[in-house]
Amino acid sequence: MPECRKCVIAGRVQGVYYRAATQQRARELGVTGHARNLPDGRVEVLVCGEPAAVEALCEWLWQGPPHARVTELACATAEVDAPLGFKTV
């Protein structure tokens, strides 16, 4: 059974390729979900998959792409059906 987490990332995370880089890393790790911009400047990421791969992506979210500057990351277990693939919204 896949594990799902919803993470909200704050800082300089919009306009710096954060969602696309997250999608690329998610595909490398074999997890599914989405990354989307929130109206307040944060990014929301849903990630589902094997627990170790989910944890690896959640840790990577602190770093993000080179121009990102993450100041806050909050992740919580999400009770959702795991989506197919990983998309940016």
C-alpha–C-alpha distance, residues 42 and 49, integer Å: 23
5 is an active site residue: no
Q: Which of 47, 60, 61, 59 is nearest to 2 (CA)?
A: 47
Catalytic member of 19, 27, 36, 42: 19
Catalytic member of 5, 25, 36, 37: 37
69 is an active site residue: no
Query: What does the H/E/C string look like for 20-68?
Result: HHHHHHHHHHCCEEEEEECCCCCEEEEEEECHHHHHHHHHHHCCCCCCC
Query: Which residues are marked as active site?
Result: 19, 37
